[in-house]
Amino acid sequence: MTKVLTVEDLTISFGTGDSELTVVHKVNFTLEAGKTLALVGESGSGKSVTSLGIMRLLSPSQSRVQGKIVLHSDEDIDLLSLSESRMRRLRGDRIAMIFQEPLTSLNPVYTIGDQIIEAIRSHRRMSKRNARQRAIELIDQVGIPDAEHRLGTYPHELSGGMRQRIMIAIALALEPDILIADEPTTALDVTVQAQILELLNRLQEETGMAMLFITHDFGVVADIADRTIVMYAGEMVEEGSTETVLERPLMPYTSGLMRAVPKLETAGLKEGDLESIEGFVPHPDNRPTGCSFHPRCTHALAGTCDVPPVPIEDAGDGHLVRCKRWKTLQEAAE
């Protein structure tokens, strides 16, 4: 497959000097054209910060982004080495993002049409008339009826599902090579969520774009992702094809997240209670030694799991896991 983006040892910190806190630790992955990579984990795992670091949307005065973020095209471009003006030209054009909450991401004092047209004309030499026609095509493409009429509406006049579709239309206005979707279905009911996922799948098939999909829901992952990375406390703790990760999770944290997914066959029954993972994601200034998950893990062993380092290992066929006991747990499960 054609690589479109490579992330190498991405590390993100906030603050300066003695108060600097590292929130993302050496994340590595590759995006391929026409494929979807999912980043999964609880709130506070570093998923959204990773995406903002890739887009260069973190304040340089308050954060430090290290590593390499290479955009592949006719020439390889390290995004971290670009000036802000050149990076601005790539945003929206080559790499676009759907933000988590459309109501706060859309400008409430401008119409939907104005915001889509601005996204187009800021990157393309196009008359306002042609840009308006393109905006109508985009609104129609994302499945909103009466597209021409919608140009004059304001964000607060649309439902949550429609606002999210408008965000998708803006992101796809310039047919980017890469789309980052930051939990685009979190605030939506399940029916609208299914429609948005179907829309993204269809648009990906039509355009061949690569997609980085951020979520905490393994049910969504099963519907949309080709490969999956599980993040915890800013680290990658498991990676593999989505089918492999879902059928044979090796990291106890991954298994815990999957047990928390509601199951239709047990809904409403006594055995249908959802399981949960006790405790919380650790704060960056209070990271546990050794495995960052061991204080919450029912399989942790003192003197083993709390002792660094905890490297990420290859379990075969590109299935990576960061756990000292994964082999023992796998043998016990079999």
Which parts of the chain have pLDDT scores under 70?
A: 1, 187, 264-273
- In the CATH scheme, what is the homologous superfamily, with its name and number, of domain 3-106+173-333? P-loop containing nucleotide triphosphate hydrolases (3.40.50.300)
Per-residue pLDDT, 319 = 97
Q: pTM for the full model?
A: 0.92
Domain ranges of the chain: 3-106+173-333
pLDDT digits (tens, 9 = 90+) for 5-33: 999 999 999 987 778 999 999 999 999 99
The span from the CA of 215 to the CA of 100, in Å, is 10
Long-range contacts of range 305-312, CB-CB < 8 Å, 24 or more positions apart?
A: 312/236, 312/237, 312/239
Q: What are phi and psi of 124, to 5 degrees?
A: -125, 140
Per-residue pLDDT, 301 = 95
pLDDT digits (tens, 9 = 90+) for 251-295: 999 999 988 877 766 666 666 667 788 999 999 999 999 999 999
